[in-house]
Copies of this chain bind each other. A is one copy, B any other.
Amino acid sequence: MTEPSPDSYPRTPRTTVRRLGDRGRYDRETVHRILDEGLVCHVGFVADGQPFVVPMGFGRDGERLILHGSVASRLLGRLSGGVPVCVTVTHVDGLVFARSGFHSSMNYRSVMVLGTATELADPAEKARALDAVIEHLAPGRSREIRPMSAKELAATRVLELPLAEVSAKVRTGPPHDPDQDLELPIWAGVVPLATVPGAPEPAPDLAEGIETPESVRRWRRPADSR
């Protein structure tokens, strides 16, 4: 491990970005920002030698990720068993059109977290962690919904994964074509991409007279881009 610092995650041989190493980022601010913008993570685990990659909702709560699911889920049961996992969150920010396919690329930000998840047992602790997931997905929403019942808490498995062995990878900016390609009569540039919410669609069984709350009406990603 190199460069211990309160503002950065320690680099390990497993998290140090090798290919295009200048895209590697290890500072907490960059990592937190990428995670906080995420709606789903991709969870990797191994079963009988076969890797599986499963999309899951999640939340970041300080220096841990929260995962959750039904106690009936074989996946959650497996993850809670102390097996090594990899959780990856990715945003595609733009398509990078170069004059050749070879130099074409994407602008993206991704975070990879390696580690082992631990199951939360205490109901109050589980409820707080699930609130963090709701707040992650829609800030303010946890104060609008009804609280979890004891039965629902018992039916939900909640896991935490510490942000300990973490790295980010980021590409930004225009294409980088070699000089000899610059005079070709071919357009080059970037098409930026964004995740954009449409108008909220009330549930068919929504009672009359219930206003759309701010957590829904003003939902944006990233949350501070309002």
Contact = CB atoms under 8 A, between A and B. Distances in A.
A169 B45 CA distance: 18
A70 interface: yes
Interface stretch (A2-10, A22-30, A49-57): A49-57
B185 A138 contact: no
Given A51-B51, A97-B141, A146-B181, A213 B187 contact: yes
B84 A50 contact: yes
Interface size class of A (residues with CB under 8 A): 35 or more
A102 B202 CA distance: 18
Q: How many copies does the complex hold?
A: 2
Nearest to A114: B50
A75 interface: yes
Contact of A145 (B86, B88, B101, B130): B101
Interface in A75-110: 75, 84-88, 90, 92, 95, 97-102, 104, 106, 108, 110
A192 B197 contact: yes
A120 interface: no
A46 B55 contact: no
A33 interface: no
B46 A104 contact: no
A18 interface: yes
A52 B165 CA distance: 12
